[in-house]
Structure 1
Amino acid sequence: MKLKQVFSAVVMAAAICLPFTSAQADDLQKIQNAGKLSIAMSGAFPPFSFVDENNQVVGFDVDIGSEIARRLKTTPVIVTTAWDGIIAGLITGRYDTVIGSMSITEERKKAVDFVGPYYRSGLAVFVHKGSGITTVGALKGKTVGVTLGEAAEKWARDQNKFNIRTYKGLPEMLLDLTAGRIDAIVADDIPVFVAMAKSNAPVEQIKDDTLPRYDVGIAIRKNNPELAAAMQKALDDMMADGTYESISKKWIGYDIR
């Protein structure tokens, strides 16, 4: 079964599990009544979300989500979960929102609504330095690593010319690439650039202007206009007053807007 079919099946199954009401209250009221905003992310996508040496989930997305929660006058509750099931978890009410560097795609917009975007990113292909691989075409028949459920996985499978190996997160992919267990990885460019700068890993990018770029947004359940408006205002205010820039420079090194 193709990835798109699997995604649609999971979303449909999740939706069936929801109780139907003709007039549901907007999630904003429920969140503020509870006094907390539960925020989902993978926890395996540094520098956006990862577990530090104190066993705390930290990163750019954690700080953005926590600041939005505070501006909604709620307490942030960070939830880590597997990326390939994160939308199903949102639909079925396991958490209130996904602030986890999720690209806004037409397929995802069928299942959830988006606030933002809050930055723009794109896919890139990386290989081991000295591999001799200089074009994406040269990877035909070779093993390419991707994170399960990400836009990179869909793109790689759509090419129909790679042997695909899936991972739970970027750290494991980079480890296998530097160890020579895979020939390349396809991933969002920003976290790989940050990882390369910090570790001086023997990895280099294959330049290819045809790779997709996309907006990254905050996912919420459908039909919640009040929550969407409140979160958008919080995000806009953060960008206007310098808070967003400060968070971005802290984790990325520059303002990624």
Structure 2
Amino acid sequence: MRLVPAARAAVFAAAALLLGVSARADDLDAIRAAKTLRIGTEGTYAPFSFHDASGALVGFDVEIGRKVAEKLGVAPQFLEGKWDGLIAGLDAKRYDVVINQVGITKERQAKFDFSEPYIRSRAVLITRADTGTIKGFADLKGKKSAQSLSSNFARLATESGAELVGTDGFDQSIQLVITGRADATLNDNLSFLDFHKQKPNAPVKIVAQKDDADASGILLRKNNPDLKAALDKALTEIKADGSYAAIAQKYFGADVSQ
């Protein structure tokens, strides 16, 4: 006779456990309870997340994070870490979200969720301002293109028939173009916009760009529909009220949402 109540108790316990899992609190509840949005970011990645001359944490992503937190009605808390550890830190619940130019890819979407994209970038072809022989990607054939050899841009340049000149990154690539040691560089339009904002008189120009854009979003843990909805709503609101446009103009001098 005692086996029946015991069996029933086990069933009830299992059911309660399942209900507890399915009805667990969304991360948004914890964020609002703590009145803080913990944001993982690098702090060494200009112009998105870096320290200015005074030591203050600044950047496009930093200001987006502050505005998003404001719309959520909480305070932002930025927790800095190396790029390789940011996603692992989110998984370990060190952060509530990561705002650090995290590209939206199928591989990442398999384990995490993203907000709607808040910034997009495209591959662009950059030459000296006085160059007229390169007008499109097909014109790279036989030309020297300054590239970080491990980047996707190097692959695109090779596919266009360019001879690669290896560099350490955008800054060195653009200098080789300016000095004439390379005919062009294929790079990210956001990097060019940042460079042009800092040095508007530099003798370089964009002559072509790829149609396909890479989107970045706010990274969050899966199974948090309320938090995702709140983040999407916040991004929509800062675009509608002009906050986003002001931040984009400050760092890039252009709209970078499309």
Matches within 5 A, 1:79-158: 79-126=79-126, 134=134, 138=141, 144-145=147-148, 153-154=151-152, 156=154
Give the conservation status (yes or no) of the 8 Å contact 1:127–1:133.
Answer: no
Paired residues, number: 227
Q: Distance in 1 between matches of 2:146 and 2:220?
A: 35
State the shift of 1:74 in Å: 1.6
Residue 13 of structure 2 corresponds to none
| Secondary structure, aligned partner of 2:53 | coil
Distance 1:197 1:64, change over 3 A: closer
How far apart in 1 are the matches of 2:157 and 2:64? 34
Superposed counterparts of 1:233-244, under 5 Å: 233-244=233-244
Unaligned runs of 5+ in 1: 1-20
Once structures 1 and 2 are overlaid, which stretch shifts more, 92-101 or 129-138?
129-138
Do structure 1's residue 174 and structure 2's residue 171 form an aligned pair?
yes
Q: Specify the alignment match of 2:214 in structure 1.
A: 214
Q: 1:185 to 1:94 in 2, by over 3 A?
A: farther
SS in 1 for 2:122: strand
Structure 2 unaligned residues grouped into runs of 5+: 1-19
Q: Secondary structure at the match of 1:95?
A: coil
TM-score scaled by length of structure 1: 0.69
Aligned-residue sequence identity (percent) comes to: 35
Q: Comparing 158-167 with 234-243, which one deviates more in the overlay?
A: 158-167
* Per-residue deviation, residues 21-64 of structure 1 (Å, max 9, x unmatched): 94443111122222211222333443322221111121221111
8 Å contact 2:148–2:154 — kept in the other structure?
no
Q: Report how far residue 214 of structure 1 moved.
A: 2.4
| Counterpart in the other structure of 1:58 | 58
8 Å contact 2:157–2:164 — kept in the other structure? Answer: no
Backbone CA RMSD of aligned residues: 3.6
* TM-score computed with the length of structure 2 as normaliser: 0.69
Pairwise CA distance, 1:138: 4.4
User: Deviation digits for residues 104-141 of structure 1, max 9, x if unmatched?
Assistant: 22222112111111232212354677899947654899
Q: Secondary structure at the match of 2:223?
A: coil
CA distance in 1, matches of 2:144, 2:188: 22
Q: Which amino acid aligns with 1:174?
A: D
Which structure has the larger Rg?
2
Give the counterpart letter for 1:72 in structure 2.
Answer: L
1:166 and 1:78 mapped to 2: Cα distance?
Answer: 32
Which residue does the alignment assign to 1:253? Answer: 253
Contact 2:153–2:187 (CA under 8 A) maintained in structure 1? no
